[in-house]
């Protein structure tokens, strides 16, 4: 008789179902089967479950692309990971054979599939992933720190692009989880003054805890005017856009010859941008999509304890209570929601 497990399944537009599904099995020699220690709800999960969806996913899959697991079984060709090891992973499984992969642009793979989005992921008791996407973590690293590996590696990749110089000023647009990761990482990278723009007062408080020197509510004051006051009229050195719709605000706030990294995504919005200002001021703009070869460095960062990630956890829930976490993400009361398949054992 087929072994079953509990899981959260993407069952229709805006809907999930907590149900029994077959426990996944190793399908190929390079696969790894892991028991899930913890998983977390990402903003992308919220976009997938919007009505209409603002991020595409395949109905019928087990959702969840941010998870930590303990290896139970490995395929016959796996030599770098063994049962008992703990792992985090990049869920964006690249083919290694297409034009972009051959150029080293694995985050642009033409044949990519994504665990928890286009294929089964980690909102269950077990998951299977290719060994090449997994990175070992220490036995001592708390799952509640390791759970940040996937989103954090994406932000590490973005921060690498702008090459912050010590003392440079920074503006972070948005204080959701991604904006807070930017704040922490840029602070750790030697940023001088960090300003965060965020209309939600609660998230603004978290931004200050994460290392921001000032939080500006753009619904109460003119953001551009405040940035010019803070920089003696010059504009900010570096802007990190973590919302997906604020490119013009970034252009208006950055100084001539400054840098902007665009990370936020919203496929339903098409914001206008002042190209004249970009060209005239020689503004450097970088798009940054997921992570590229940064997961091992991200694990080293988490192991170092250099940044306090657990302060961002607002909800700890049983897997079956996914809907509670999703609601909290939607209404802005949550930052990081952790789901535990073995919640009853943990209590």
Pick the catalytic residue from 47, 65, 183, 294. 47
Q: How far is 347 from 273, CA to CA, in rounded Å? A: 51
Pick the catalytic residue from 16, 44, 153, 294. 44
* 47 given a catalytic annotation: yes
Q: How far is 85 from 141, CA to CA, in rounded Å? A: 12
Active site positions, annotated: 44, 47
């Amino acid at each position: 008789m087929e072994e079953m497990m509990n899981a959260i399944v993407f069952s229709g537009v805006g809907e999930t179902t907590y149900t029994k599904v077959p426990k996944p099995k190793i399908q190929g020699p390079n696969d790894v089967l892991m028991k899930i220690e913890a998983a977390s709800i990402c903003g992308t999960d919220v976009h997938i479950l919007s009505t209409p969806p603002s991020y595409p996913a395949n109905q019928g899959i087990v959702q969840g692309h941010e998870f930590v697991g303990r290896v139970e079984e490995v395929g016959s060709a796996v030599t770098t990971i063994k049962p008992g090891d703990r792992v985090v992973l990049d869920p964006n499984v690249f083919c290694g054979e297409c034009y972009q992969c051959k150029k080293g642009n694995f985050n642009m793979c033409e044949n990519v599939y994504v665990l928890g989005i286009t294929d089964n992921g980690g909102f269950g008791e077990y998951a299977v992933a290719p060994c090449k996407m997994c990175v070992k973590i220490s036995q001592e690293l708390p799952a509640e720190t390791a759970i940040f590996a996937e989103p954090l590696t994406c932000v590490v990749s973005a921060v690498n692009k702008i090459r912050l110089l010590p003392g440079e000023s920074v503006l972070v647009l948005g204080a959701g989880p991604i904006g807070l990761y930017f704040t922490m990482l840029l602070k750790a990278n030697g940023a001088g003054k960090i300003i965060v723009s965020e209309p939600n007062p609660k998230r603004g408080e978290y931004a200050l805890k994460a290392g921001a020197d000032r939080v500006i509510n753009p619904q109460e004051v003119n953001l551009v005017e405040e940035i010019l006051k803070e920089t003696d009229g010059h504009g900010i050195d570096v802007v990190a856009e973590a919302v997906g719709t604020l490119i013009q605000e970034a252009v208006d706030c950055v100084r001539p010859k400054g840098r902007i990294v665009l990370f936020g995504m919203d496929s339903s919005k098409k914001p206008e941008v002042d190209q004249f200002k970009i060209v005239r001021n020689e503004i450097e703009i970088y798009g940054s999509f997921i992570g590229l070869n940064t997961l091992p460095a991200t694990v080293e960062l988490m192991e170092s304890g250099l940044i306090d990630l657990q302060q961002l956890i607002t909800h700890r829930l049983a897997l079956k209570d996914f809907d509670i976490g999703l609601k909290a993400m939607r209404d802005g009361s949550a930052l990081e929601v952790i789901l535990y398949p073995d919640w009853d054992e943990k209590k």
